[in-house]
Amino acid sequence: MPNLPALLNQIQEIDFSLFLESLKPALASSICFILTARSVTNYKIHRDFETKEICKVEIPPELKPKYFKVELKEINSKKLKEATLEFASVLESTFPKSSLTNFYNNINELKIKKNPFLFWDADGAYNDLTNEITILFSSALYHELFHMASTIKNTGLVGFHQYFSKKENIGIGLNEGYTDLLTERYFGEKHKIKGVYIYESKIAHNVEMILGKEKMEELYLKADLNRFIEEMKLFAKEEDILEFLVNLDYICVASNVHLITKDSLIAKKILEIQEFLLKTYQTKMKQQFENQMVNQEMYEKQTEEFLNLLKTNNKVGGVKYSIAQDYTIEKDFAIKR
């Protein structure tokens, strides 16, 4: 058995400032060391201990997990409990637990109301401040449940949509599109659900083909628009990514809130979105090809799938915009009505 007081004396002799000095390069590259207050006060390691070098990661309260599972007692007391339980079971068996923090935090305290009088022509709505779903038709529930599962309550962060103020409102188009895509992917066939954000959903699918399904689903459920932009920056400039998001927002709001707008303006935005996606996709595939992550055959097959999707469903606000057929991957798209 070592002599504890002697050991503590020895520890006191160690110059920890030198030790910390040697760690400086690592600290500079943002590695954080967490030393608890107890280990410092109980043993009085060094009187001149430089606490400035220690950084502790504080998790904001809204990101701290409150629940770690679905509480059956809570769900069974809700309206439309069968559908809610089905949704919960699909999410738990599909996504990693690490992506479900928002889902667990919200589902147990979720309120569901059926109301035939929604104030605009929506089939359903999710209020992220009160954690409440109001629906007109039961089929709208799954879309709203995805909003619930991807919301950091009381923050203005809902999936890919961020709204802190009128001026800091971005991502609604991508968010609604991706919400519809996931709703159709996981519940569409069984419940014959067709989304309403048809164009936005198609575009979100194209974006998913760039980032990959697992990453895109994770970023959505974590409501991490910042990381979405960081990931996209591997293949595109930040200002182009933001412009793409804003263009899709414009189309989403203009077509779904019946904003009076010129068809030519919508056509211009569709064209800009396609150019951005095509360029970004090409950059990604070029990188993968150069790093030998795809071979010629895979490259051609994936590119064809990407282009076929990009060509379809260009219907916005009841108007169909078609793309000239004579393009190749290097050429820009031409849009005509």
The residue (of 176 and 224) whose beta carbon lies closer to Zn ion is 176
The residue (of 151 and 280) whose beta carbon lies closer to Zn ion is 151
Backbone angles phi, psi at 315, to 5 degrees: -110, 120
- Report the length, in residues, of the chain: 337
Q: How many residues bind Zn ion (CB under 5 A)?
A: 1
As measured in angstroms, the least distance from the Cβ of 143 to Zn ion is 6
As measured in angstroms, the least distance from the Cβ of 285 to Zn ion is 31
x-or-dash pattern for Zn ion, window 174-193, by CB under 5 A? --x-----------------
CB 195 within 8 A of CB 180: yes
The residue (of 176 and 208) whose beta carbon lies closer to Zn ion is 176
DSSP secondary structure code for residue 111 in this structure: E
Report CA dihedral (293, 296, 298, 303) to the nearest 10 degrees: 110
The residue (of 128 and 176) whose beta carbon lies closer to Zn ion is 176
Of the candidate spans 1-9, 24-32, 168-176, 297-305, the one that interacts with Zn ion by CB under 5 A turns out to be 168-176
As measured in angstroms, the least distance from the Cβ of 44 to Zn ion is 57
Residue nearest to Zn ion (CB): 176
Cα–Cα distance, 98 to 93 (Å, whole number): 13
CB 208 within 8 A of CB 216: yes
Of the candidate spans 128-136, 172-180, 273-281, 288-296, the one that interacts with Zn ion by CB under 5 A turns out to be 172-180
As measured in angstroms, the least distance from the Cβ of 122 to Zn ion is 8
As measured in angstroms, the least distance from the Cβ of 16 to Zn ion is 54
Q: What sign for the dihedral angle of Cα 228, 231, 233, 236?
A: negative
Count CB neighbours of 29 within 10 A: 7
As measured in angstroms, the least distance from the Cβ of 245 to Zn ion is 16
Cα distance between the two ends of the chain: 86
Cα–Cα distance, 223 to 150 (Å, whole number): 6
Cα–Cα distance, 123 to 196 (Å, whole number): 10
CB 114 within 8 A of CB 135: yes
The residue (of 124 and 284) whose beta carbon lies closer to Zn ion is 124
The residue (of 178 and 321) whose beta carbon lies closer to Zn ion is 178
The residue (of 172 and 277) whose beta carbon lies closer to Zn ion is 172
Residue 236: closest CA among 293, 275, 292: 275
As measured in angstroms, the least distance from the Cβ of 86 to Zn ion is 19
Footprint of Zn ion on 56-115 (CB under 5 A): none
Footprint of Zn ion on 193-232 (CB under 5 A): none
Q: Which residues bind Zn ion (CB under 5 A)?
A: 176
